[in-house]
Amino acid sequence: MRTPAPTRQKNTGGFSVIEVLVAITIFSIVVLGVAATGAVSARNLNSGQESTSAATAVQSKVDSLTSLGWAALTSQSGTDSVQGHAVNWTVTGTNPRHVVVVVQRQVMSQTFADTIVTYVSK
């Protein structure tokens, strides 16, 4: 009588090649998503810093103009560079004085102009 040939047992303790490829694909998609989010966050951070710097420059110019007082703040205009931003300002009117301050800011090779209008009266 013949003895049956020993049967091989399947190795069930590991992962198949397909499972490993699927896991690598999912991991790659997640890593690319996180990297893209980081790039967008860096761009938004830069834009926010430029906006804050421009707002500070405008406020500085408005403060310096209004500190002159109503009598000294006659119809005039000028251009300054405040904190690296080009700031143009114009004063018109008699009472109240109409003060317009325009600041130029650069974000990602685009130029934006922000305008602030304030009034000074007796």
What confidence tens digit (pLDDT) does each residue in 17-60 have? 999 999 999 999 999 999 999 889 988 898 888 888 888 888 88
Phi and psi at residue 77, in whole multiples of 5°? -150, 165
User: What are the phi and psi torsion angles at 100 (to 5°)?
Assistant: -120, 125
CA pair distance 73, 19, nearest whole angstrom? 76
Helix (H) or strand (E) holding 120: strand 110-120
Beta bridge partners of 86: 81, 104
Q: What is the CA radius of gyration of the chain?
A: 33
Q: Is the pLDDT of residue 82 over 80?
A: yes
> pTM of the prediction?
0.64
| Rounded CA separation 36/55 (Å) | 29
